Amino acid sequence: MKEFEPSEYDLLREGQIVFTCIHPAAHPEEVQALLDKKVIAFTAEDSHRYGSPNCEAAGKQGALFGLESMLTINGGKGKFVSGLGGAPGMKVMILGGGTVGQAALSVLHALGAWCTVMDINIGTLRSISRQYQEQVNTMISTKENIRKLLPETDLVLNCVKWPKGCRDYLIDRPMLKLMEKGSVIVDISNDDQGAIESFHETTHENPRYIEEGIVHYCVGNIPGAIAHSTSIAYAASVLPHFRSLAAYGVAEACARDGYLRRSLTAYKGYLTHEETSALQNRPWIRPEEILKITEKDPDPAPPATVTRSDHYIRL
């Protein structure tokens, strides 16, 4: 369930339906191969009505990797999550209150950490406060608020879906100096030019690096560490799409489910993914138009990202 590798491009064939985590906006060569081969491609990460299982897995396991990174033997300051008699527990800042952030919060709160969740959506923050009986702090996510809390924060988890192309940061390099040495940043979102300026991707073989005395954990495929559970959860999420495609065909299945339709990335040589069009400057056509279902009052779904493109293909 990951991107196609160049060695696999020749295995693609015209009219074939492929459904995997394509991440098309970040992989122009892969997109070109899908278009050249005239396949029908769905990018799985955009198809989840209730949030991606990968996001839940990354949030929960990313929280545990943050605790592991806090250990003295891994370069951290050596704080225990809930504290010990006479020794206070960890203070955690979670950036982003979506599926990833709420998954991380569920683990850390249960283990006794003192958690603050930051988000730009006041409704999300209110919902989190009520869910945890006001035992979790919430704040509007701004650079100024983050700067205020960093000196007393032990662990930061970045769970923000950062707009591609944005050149600002929530935590820039000078802000690392505000944190106590041995504090930890876990960049679960794992985006180049993302919310954390000091981010660079790492692997499970060498997951951590230290910059300005701050331990960074930036593994790109956190769910791969719990592959068994993640695979089962992912299968449960996408199985209804497979059943619908098999029962109704591509056009009708996409009309019935807006989340499946918004994940359509390429259709028989045409790009149908808006974010990819915007970031790669490629012309695209709306799935409703190429599938000829505009008159069917298709099931609605919110856009997968805030990125927009008016570089349309006119049939």
Residues labelled as active-site residues:
23, 191
The Cα-based distances of 92 to 54, 113, 136, 177, 314 in angstroms read: 22, 7, 10, 17, 50
Residue for token pair 């690096």: 209
Query: Residue 144: which residues within 8 A CB-CB, separation 6 or more?
Result: none
DSSP secondary structure of 41-98: EEEGGG--TT--HHHHHHHHHHHHHHHHHTSGGGTS----TT-BTTB---EEEEE--S
| Side chain identity, residue 2 | K
* Residue 137 CA, distance from chain mean position: 23
Across-strand partners of 186? 157, 217
- How far apart (Å, rounded) are the C-alpha atoms in residues 154 and 39? 48
What tokens were used for 267?
Answer: 């259709």
